[in-house]
Structure 1
Amino acid sequence: MNSNDRTTRRLLLCGVAAGPLFVAAFLIQGAVRPHYDPLRHPVSSLALGESGWVQAVNFVVAGLLTVALAAGLRRALKASPQPAATVWGPILVGAWGVMLICAGVFTTDPVSGYPPGTPERLDEYGSVHAALHNLLSLVGFVALPAACVVFAVRSLRERERGWAAYSIAGAVGFTGGIVLATMAFGQDPALVAYGGLFQRTAVTIAWAWLGLMALRLLMWRRGAPRSGAGRPRRSS
């Protein structure tokens, strides 16, 4: 294995590790944080309060690992005859990673009564940081399902229907979860108690898709013939 192959492999391994680390961190924090309800409150709210730096670091680390994954995707797919997947796929995955970094830098406003003593919903942003958090999160929430669609189209063109279907399902599931979570955090009476659950479901769907894509690429590069998102088409 030459140095280029080793570098690409390490970058893809960052994508395999990012999701489990991020999810494990917010699950542990949500379980031990006083007054925090994982079913009700968003992941971003863990960045508030005295121990909020832990979640801020979690966001930044996961974002850096995802940006590394995007670079690995670009390197691994550079021989692909489909420019949409080669160029736009990594860019969109990278945008998701940059969003995570920004979420760690710019903290959100309180919502749904957390931290204790704060209102269920603020009528306007409490700070520029909170406004940037929401704006940049929206960019990431659009970029991730768009990446799923880009790789689904690539897979369909290569007759890899299983991965294409999974990618489309990931885009739909993620988007649906985020929409429901947004409505819940907006204090929809029927949904507010489960906003955290909806968001966590969406985020887990996103990380599962990214991790499996990175893993499939790694397996292909080791010589195992795999259909799916990451398999570059060999030129004849």
Structure 2
Amino acid sequence: MTHALSAPQQVASAGTASRPVVRCALAGGMVAGPLFLAAGIVQGLTRDGFDFTRNAISQLALGEAGWIQTVNFLVTGALLIACAGGLRRELRDGPAGTWGPALVAVFGASFWAAAAFEADAGAGFPAGAPDATALSGHGTVHMAAGAGGYLALCAAFVVLARPLAARGHRGWAVASRLVPVAVLAGFMASAASVLAFTAGAGLGLLWLTAVTVRLVAAPGES
């Protein structure tokens, strides 16, 4: 009888103990976007020849100080993958608990791929680089990784709209289905404006922060 009574208590104790671990993992999703963008903005304002209207943040990985942006990619990817693990524990069973974390993990892995395969020089950066950009093999992989990662993120937002709605945040759920449209619009406009591309990418990162905070603040069924 004693063992029968103690088993539920042990399960509850294990669940309570794991909760701080889950929140710590989810914190990765909360800080990944702001950290990546803040590091990129500071570098863009201090690196010679970099112009936000002509250059993508990815190009900051080029040149002598490029290691800073490479580390930024690696750290952001690690934080996003940790967030994916936290989302899996938070959302538990169901489509959202399976596909949402998996898609966020793909997004995180795309940052590691971007670190491994540098963007091409061009548009005057690094200093002395020609205006024209010649697409190389590593540059192609870099672009493909970024495109694939953001497509996964957009899909994750649509999937995560379900637990948001289930927890009573229907406005957030609607927004989570609309934000991918704005993100993809920014990517489509990148040929005409690098700033549009940067804005779309930044919006995706910041919306993931907002969604993660909302899910943590309102636990419930997925």
Q: TM-score range by the shorter chain?
A: 0.7 to 0.9
Corresponding residue for residue 93 of structure 1: 104
1:132 to 138, 141, 155: 141
Structure 1 gaps of 5+ residues are 184-190, 222-230
| Larger mean Cα displacement after TM superposition, 104-113 or 26-35 | 104-113
Deviations along 1:151-199, whole A, 9 cap, x unmatched?
2355457764201221122101111111112x1xxxxxxx2xx31x112
After superposition, the Cα gap between the structure-2 partners of 1:55 and 1:146, relative to the gap in structure 1 and judged at 3 Å, is: same
Is it true that 1:232 corresponds to 2:221 in the alignment?
A: yes
Match of 1:186 in 2: none
Which residue of structure 2 lines up, in the alignment, with residue 226 of structure 1? none
> For structure 2, which runs of at least 5 residues remain unmatched after alignment?
1-14
> Is residue 172 of structure 1 aligned with residue 205 of structure 2?
no
Q: Which of 36, 41, 47 is residue 33 of structure 1 equivalent to?
A: 47
- Which has the larger share of helix? 2
Q: Does 1:207 find its partner at 2:221?
A: no
2:119 match = 108
Q: CA deviation at 1:131?
A: 2.6
Residue 37 of structure 2 corresponds to 23
Q: CA deviation at 1:134?
A: 1.7
1:163 alignment partner in structure 2: 172
Measured against aligned partners, the alpha-carbon deviations of 1:76-110 in whole angstroms (never above 9, x if no partner) come to 0004xxx3211111111111100011111211111
CA distance in 2, matches of 1:147, 1:120: 36
Aligned sequence identity (%): 35
Residue aligning to 1:84? 95
Distance 1:175 1:19, change over 3 A: same
2:12 maps to which residue?
none
**What is the CA–CA distance in structure 1 between the aligned matches of 2:134 and 2:35, rounded to whole Å?**
34
- Residue 65 of structure 1 and its aligned partner are, at CA, apart by 0.2
1:115 deviates by 1.9
State the partner residue of 2:20: 6
Match of 1:145 in 2: 154
TM-score normalised by the chain length of structure 2: 0.86
| Equivalent-residue separation in structure 1 for 2:27 and 2:166 (angstroms) | 26
Equivalent pair of 2:186/2:199 in contact (CA under 8 Å): yes
* 1:119 alignment partner in structure 2: 130
Tell me how far apart the structure 1 counterparts of residues 48 and 114 of structure 2 sit (CA, whole Å): 22
- Shift of residue 4, structure 1, vs aligned partner: 1.1
Q: Give the counterpart letter for 1:152 in structure 2.
A: A
**Letter of the 2:180 counterpart:** A
2:53 corresponds to 1:42: no
CA, structure 1 residues 161+96, in 2 after alignment: closer, same or farther (shift >3 Å)? same
Q: Following superposition of structure 1 onto structure 2, how do residues 172-191 of structure 1 map, counting pairs within 5 Å?
A: 172-181=181-190, 183=191, 191=192
User: How many residue pairs are counted as aligned between the two chains?
Assistant: 208
How far the C-alpha of 1:16 sits from its partner, in A, is: 0.9
2:3 is matched with none
Could you tell me which amino acid in structure 1 is paired with residue 76 of structure 2?
A
**Alpha-carbon distance, 1:2 to partner:** 2.4
1:188 alignment counterpart: none
Residues 204-228 of structure 1: CA distance to partner in whole angstroms, max 9, x if unpaired? 211221111211122124xxxxxxx
CA distance in 1, matches of 2:199, 2:133: 25
SS in 1 for 2:218: helix
Q: Which amino acid counterpart does residue 232 of structure 1 have in structure 2?
A: E
Counterpart of 2:181 in 1: which secondary structure?
helix
Length-normalised TM-score, structure 1: 0.81
Aligned residue number for residue 187 of structure 1: none
Larger Rg: 2
